[in-house]
Amino acid sequence: MKSVTVIGLGPMGQAMAGAYLDGGYEVTVWNRTPARADGLVARGARRAETVETALTANELVVLSLIDYDAMDAVLARAPGSALAGRTLVNLTSDTPDRARQAVAWLAGRGAVQISGGVQVPPPGIGTPEAMTYYSGQKDVIERHRTALEVLTGIEYLGEDPGLAALYYQIGIDMFWTALAGYLHGQAVAEANGISARDFLPHAVRTMDLRYFLEFYAPRITAGDHAGDVDRISMGVASLEHVLRTAQASGVDGSLPAAVLEIFRQGVTAGHGQDSLTSLVGVLRRR
């Protein structure tokens, strides 16, 4: 019988446990709020009454928790011996250093951790285009490939267990920043009587940054920040217009003001006539 334990039943954990049930797996689940398991139990999952029971039920254990502090608190509920011989697929978000520390801590208790960073929201679990960053012991990942691919495809980054967390956090850095920009722009739109539905096609075109990413990446790699396409000084003027428009609309201007300040830092550093890609160096120095 194919079997797995899922610990943590937020939206992502629910989706993962559901995918395993759909895939014919025997699924054991545990959550700090037991009622979150009710729907899964009704579908055939087994509810573990304790963390120890959840851990010892299966060799493969998937963790989907809010952060590594939560993981520490959950695992502290069970004796260390419950971890011996387990493979923990840790899909919990945190820093690369925390991922590396957890690997060492678990190894001392006879367990192996595979670090992961899921690249889709919960509804994407089990879909063909879904992908997860993984890092850690390659042989362990290969041994459990079939079970992992029930959830998503695998993008293996290397033996360093912190790499999956690093790639994930870089992506989330860009994700939240971009979405915050969208929401701020939509606040300005609504303040001026333009609904999100009406502005949607314009937002989609604006947020399609593929051209710029593909244009900038080789230049950043080569250290070429020539201001032949854009200049930080142009960005300063543009952001000032954005800020004044937001303020005139009665919308909080702290987000564009923060970006404007970074651009001004670039001008102060002597990059006013350079491409905004030169801000990578400015941000690193800060």
Give me the CATH number covering residue 229.
1.10.1040.10
Domain, as residue range, for 228: 224-286
pLDDT score at 286: 63
pLDDT score at 154: 98
State pTM to two decimals. 0.92
**Could you give the CA distance from residue 170 to residue 165 in angstroms, rounded to a whole number?**
9
- 66 residue type, one letter: I
pLDDT score at 62: 98
Task: Give a yes or no: residue 187 inside a domain.
Answer: no
pLDDT score at 285: 79
Residue 22 maps to which CATH number?
A: 3.40.50.720
Task: Give a yes or no: residue 181 inside a domain.
Answer: no
Task: Give a yes or no: residue 27 inside a domain.
Answer: yes
Single out the residue in 125, 146, 162 at which a domain terminates.
162
**Averages of pLDDT over each 10 residues, the chain, 286 residues:** 94 98 98 96 97 98 97 95 97 96 97 97 96 98 97 98 97 96 98 98 96 96 96 97 98 98 96 97 86
My answer on whether 134 and 7 are in the same domain is yes
My answer on whether 152 and 11 are in the same domain is yes
Task: Give a yes or no: residue 209 inside a domain.
Answer: no
Long-range contacts of the stretch 73-81 (C-beta < 8 A, 24+): 74/7, 74/8, 74/32, 75/51, 77/50, 77/51, 77/52, 78/50, 78/51, 78/52, 79/52, 80/109, 81/109
Task: Give a yes or no: residue 192 inside a domain.
Answer: no
My answer on whether 117 and 247 are in the same domain is no
Task: Give a yes or no: residue 180 inside a domain.
Answer: no
pLDDT score at 270: 96
pLDDT score at 1: 66
pLDDT score at 240: 98
My answer on whether 21 and 127 are in the same domain is yes
